[in-house]
């Protein structure tokens, strides 16, 4: 059950990354919340899987996007990696 909830958070975080990449304004509190969730999730499972590094990378990109312009390609690649993890955890 918890894996599916975390997968949903991954999908939402990836959707926010795509929105930021395409210039859609997102609430700052949502970005910070999702970045914190990704950091906690990434640190929690970092010992078991290299793929959790994608969570940490995504969280850093989300936090940087609050204060600076992150290249669109970085957000898209990170978003695709995280959304893939989200969908796989729902299966």
Residue 84 to residue 7: CA distance in whole angstroms: 9
Q: Say what angle helices 2-21 and 52-67 make with each other, to 10 degrees.
A: 40
* Averaged pLDDT for residues 67-74: 92
Q: Is the pTM higher than 0.85?
A: yes
> Does 53 score more than 90 pLDDT?
no
Token reading at 25: 């304004």
Residue 72 to residue 86: CA distance in whole angstroms: 21
Count of domains for the chain: 1
Range of the domain at 33: 2-90
- What pLDDT is attached to residue 77? 93
> Does 16 score more than 90 pLDDT?
yes
Of all residues in the chain, what percent carry a pLDDT higher than 70? 97
> Does 72 score more than 90 pLDDT?
yes
């Amino acid at each position: 059950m918890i894996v599916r909830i975390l997968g949903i958070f991954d999908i939402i975080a990836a959707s926010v990354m795509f929105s930021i990449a395409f210039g859609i304004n997102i609430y700052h509190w949502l970005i910070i919340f999702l970045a914190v969730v990704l950091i906690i999730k990434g640190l929690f499972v970092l010992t078991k899987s290299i793929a959790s590094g994608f969570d940490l990378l995504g969280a850093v990109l989300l936090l940087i996007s609050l204060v600076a312009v992150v290249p669109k390609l970085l957000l898209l690649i990170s978003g695709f990696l995280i959304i893939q993890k989200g969908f796989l955890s729902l299966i």
